[in-house]
């Protein structure tokens, strides 16, 4: 049972509310697990690319590094349920969706910009289009698991 702090009754009195929700299971845990796997895979790939061949395709490899950072932040934010972590997750997953869409379009429209693939090139085709589907699943899960939305739904 987690305690949510910060609710006040007055200048000297504090009250707290408890969060009795169980930890993430099922679909939520699966989304977090896939983000962790992608964070590790993208970080490893980007590290090797940037250390070994950065001059070969700086934009693509730099984007792979950025994607890795976004996956790490999304995984951390999704794994926790606090207000700041949920905000981090919303931001990271939204950036991921915009990134995969923009890089996907650019990699098809101007392939000369991407002589080598990044994680998001061609909408993540090198990863079975999971980079395109994953942020949509992440955003849906964030919306469905929103504490405010869940509380309002349980009051009805």
By C-alpha distance, which of 93, 81, 85 is closest to 35?
93
pLDDT greater than 70 at residue 115: yes
- Decide which of 57 and 71 is more confident: 71
Q: Dump strand ranges (E) for 9-108.
A: 14-19
> Mean pLDDT throughout 89-115?
95
Q: 62 Cβ partners below 8 Å, 6+ apart?
A: 50
Q: How confident is the model at residue 81 (pLDDT cuts 50, 70, 90)?
A: confident
pLDDT of residue 8: 45
Q: 76 Cβ partners below 8 Å, 6+ apart?
A: 85, 88, 89
3-state SS assignment for residue 9 = coil
pLDDT greater than 70 at residue 5: no
> Mean pLDDT throughout 132-136?
96
pLDDT of residue 1: 43
Q: Dump strand ranges (E) for 1-156.
A: 2-8, 14-19
């Amino acid at each position: 049972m987690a305690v949510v702090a910060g609710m006040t009754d007055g200048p000297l009195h504090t009250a707290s509310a408890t969060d009795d929700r169980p930890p993430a299971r099922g679909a939520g845990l699966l989304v977090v697990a896939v983000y962790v796997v992608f964070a590790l895979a993208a970080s490893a790939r980007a590290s090797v690319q940037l250390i070994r061949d950065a001059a070969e395709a700086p934009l693509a490899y730099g984007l792979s590094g950025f994607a890795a950072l976004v996956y790490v932040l999304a995984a951390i934010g999704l794994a926790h349920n606090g207000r700041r972590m949920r905000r981090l997750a919303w931001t990271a997953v939204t950036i991921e969706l915009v990134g995969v869409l923009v890089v996907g379009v650019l990699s098809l429209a101007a392939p000369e910009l991407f002589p080598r693939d990044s994680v998001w090139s061609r909408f993540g085709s090198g990863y079975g289009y999971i980079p395109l589907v994953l942020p949509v699943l992440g955003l849906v899960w964030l919306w469905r698991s929103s504490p405010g939305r869940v509380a309002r739904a349980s009051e009805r």
